[in-house]
């Protein structure tokens, strides 16, 4: 999924077919063609995949994901979600969309952070690598503070080329 996501082009939309949360970075990079490919591919699966079975098993799937989740993000805690969202947005919408999944997505698992490699800072990576409560939120807040102290341009994401950059 990460390889597809960072490869660019319209085929990067297939990342969102594999993992729906990949839509956020595609939005961040304004990859409209990739999003169209993702929607078309998802629509095509309606004919080929047993979605009725998935929907029927959704309670079991949700329980398993909850059991396996890395309970260090803000999801489900409204004050933490607001703090995390404010910290994310203070770094600019592009970074916010790239970083939102491990911080705000339900039932986050550790590997969700891998998709943030194009925008993650050493400070943020260090926080996320440590095992302590709310590490994802603490990391984003510290990254936002560091971002403001350094005076980074919130529209520039190092290593990621946007359509007009």
Token pair listed for 85: 């969202």
% pLDDT > 70, the chain: 89
**Mean pLDDT, residues 40-50:** 92
The Cα 97–Cα 56 span in angstroms is: 31
CB 9 within 8 A of CB 38: no
Question: Confidence band (pLDDT; 50, 70, 90) for 34?
Answer: very high
Which of 2-11, 133-142, 156-165 shows the lowest per-residue confidence on average (mean pLDDT)?
156-165
Which SS3 state, helix, strand or coil, does residue 113 take?
helix
Torsion of CA 22, 24, 28, 30, to 10 degrees: 70
**HSE, side-chain direction, 13 A CA sphere, residue 37:** 18
φ, ψ at 49 (rounded to 5°): -105, 155
CB 123 within 8 A of CB 142: yes
**Mean pLDDT, residues 42-68:** 87
% pLDDT > 90, the chain: 49
CB 141 within 8 A of CB 86: no
pLDDT of residue 132: 83
Mean pLDDT of the chain: 86
Give the helix ranges, DSSP H, for the chain: 2-7, 14-18, 23-28, 32-48, 51-56, 58-68, 78-90, 93-104, 122-129, 135-150
User: What is the per-residue pLDDT across 76-107, written as a single tens digit (0 to 9) for each?
Assistant: 889 999 999 999 999 999 999 999 999 998 87
């Amino acid at each position: 999924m990460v390889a597809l996501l960072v490869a660019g082009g319209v085929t990067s939309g297939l990342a969102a077919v594999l993992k729906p949360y990949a839509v956020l970075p595609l939005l961040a990079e304004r990859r409209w063609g990739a999003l169209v490919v993702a929607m078309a591919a998802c629509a095509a699966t309606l004919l080929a995949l047993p979605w009725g079975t998935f929907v029927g098993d959704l309670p079991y799937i949700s329980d398993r994901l909850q059991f396996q989740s890395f309970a260090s993000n803000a999801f489900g805690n409204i004050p933490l979600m607001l703090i995390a969202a404010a910290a994310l947005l203070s770094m600019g919408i592009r970074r916010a969309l790239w970083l939102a999944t491990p911080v705000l997505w339900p039932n986050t698992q550790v590997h969700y952070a891998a998709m943030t490699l194009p925008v993650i800072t050493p400070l943020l990576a260090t926080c996320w690598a440590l095992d302590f409560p709310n590490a994802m939120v603490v990391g984003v807040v510290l990254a936002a503070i560091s971002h403001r102290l350094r005076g980074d341009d919130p529209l520039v994401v190092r290593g990621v080329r946007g359509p007009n950059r």
